[in-house]
Amino acid sequence: MRFKRTLVAALVSFSALAGTGAAAAGAAVSDEQIAVTTPPTGSAAWKADTSLGRPLPDPATATPAEVAAFFATLTRSQQQRLARTYPLVVGNLDGAPVALRYRANRTAMQDELEQLDPRDARAVELHKLLQPGRQILAFDPRSRGLVVEVYGDLAAAQRIGVVVPGSDMDLAHFDKAVLAAQNLRTEAAAVSPGTPTAVIAWADYVTPVGLGADAATARLATAAAPRLQRLMAGLHETTRPDAATALLCHSYGSVVCGMAAPSLPAGAHGPTDLVVLGSPGMDVDSAADLGPGIRLWATARNHSDWIGNVPYLEIGGLGHGADPTTSGFGSHVISSAGASGHNGYFDEGTASLRNYADILLGHYHDVTCANATTSCMDGV
């Protein structure tokens, strides 16, 4: 079975690489990745802690609502003691106070840094994350390193964007997710300076490496979906009750979003906006399969995006199904004029970035459709 998966993935990779040349060929070979699905390091000691005279919420089973309710009963000193003692647990606990998680993750990153050779590549990346002003909402050193960072004030934001990246994302490549999040927030501020926004770079799952077997199946996305669902449920507990949240899902990240969508919490202002870009498919047959709480926007592929050469099909768990940019899929197809390549949709000056900002802000009728002869605003 593993041979079959690898063979079919290789065929998919070949199809994609046919239009991209030798430069991309080196990225096609990859090792199978192991998903992170267990609670963070320190969880066993956390569960055994009776210092408060009652059980602490189980990181594996407690809902973000239960976590938020628990922390609401604690004094400031009790919260800070838990964060100091169990930084990886508190720092990754959706529903815990946001500022407390920032402090806990700073401690966790400093602890990790102390175990590394200063010349180690991971140490270099941790030094970046520990710079003053950075707001790390989650950090887990396992696998290739999982990170979530916030730009803006989550407590004050009226509109929140969550950027879900695709393959090859980890601690060493987190700057790419950061740039997308920063560009989106900057664009939104330029469009509507008076609207408080926050954008989250969410690299909290183990992604495929290259274009091998992992990229051709939904295995890693299936493991990632509950993590994204918990993030969204946690935001529901710890941000403004009227804050609206939009998901922006790139490449393999659109598979993660497709898996997570049916169980996402209801949006404060109607359906949750879900934007896909450079998508290989979402492992669903149509937008209707994402559930009634989702409004799907699909970014038209630019001509130099190699993802268009990947077959849009699913056979025995291989491939990610229908193309969300096709007319029969049921998405609102938006323009990407000015964008180039698979990673260029968040670039400054592109129609796609402006569209993402308008969707984040709820300025739907300012969105530029992909096809001037048809409207992408039907039903909005």
Q: Classify residue 232: in a domain, yes or no.
A: yes
Q: Classify residue 237: in a domain, yes or no.
A: yes
Q: Say whether pLDDT at 16 is over 70.
A: no
Q: What is the pLDDT of residues 235-285, one digit of tens each?
A: 999 999 999 999 999 999 999 999 999 999 877 777 899 999 999 999 999
Q: What is the pLDDT of residues 45-73, one digit of tens each?
A: 999 999 999 999 999 999 999 999 999 99
Q: What is the pLDDT of residues 166-207, one digit of tens each?
A: 999 999 999 999 999 999 999 999 999 999 999 999 999 999
Give the DSSP H or E segment for 31.
Answer: none
Domain closes at, from 102, 133, 164: 133
Domain closes at, from 113, 133, 153: 133
Structural domain boundaries enclosing 379: 142-380
Q: Do 127 and 160 belong to one domain?
A: no
Q: Do 287 and 314 belong to one domain?
A: yes
Q: Do 109 and 159 belong to one domain?
A: no
Tell me if 342 sits within 8 A of 251, measured CB to CB.
yes
Mean pLDDT for 28-41 is: 85
Domain closes at, from 82, 110, 133: 133
Q: Do 126 and 176 belong to one domain?
A: no
Q: Do 127 and 187 belong to one domain?
A: no
Q: Amino acid identity, residue 44?
A: A
CATH of the domain at 276: 3.40.50.1820
Q: Do 352 and 214 belong to one domain?
A: yes
CA distance 207 to 94: 20
Residues 6+ apart with CB under 8 A from 61: none
Q: Classify residue 16: in a domain, yes or no.
A: no
DSSP-derived secondary structure for 309-354: GS----BTTBS--S-TTSGGG--EEE--TT--STT-TTSTT-HHHH
Residues 6+ apart with CB under 8 A from 5: 213, 216, 217, 318
Instruction: Please choose, from the candidates 102, 353, 336, 96, the residue with its C-alpha nearest in 3D space to the C-alpha of residue 238.
Output: 96
Q: Do 86 and 213 belong to one domain?
A: no
The model's pTM: 0.92
Tell me if 313 sits within 8 A of 283, measured CB to CB.
no
Which pair of tokens denotes residue 50? 């009776």
For the chain, give the percent of residues with pLDDT over 90.
85
CA distance 285 to 289: 7
Q: Say whether pLDDT at 329 is over 70.
A: yes
Query: How many domains does the chain contain in total?
Result: 2
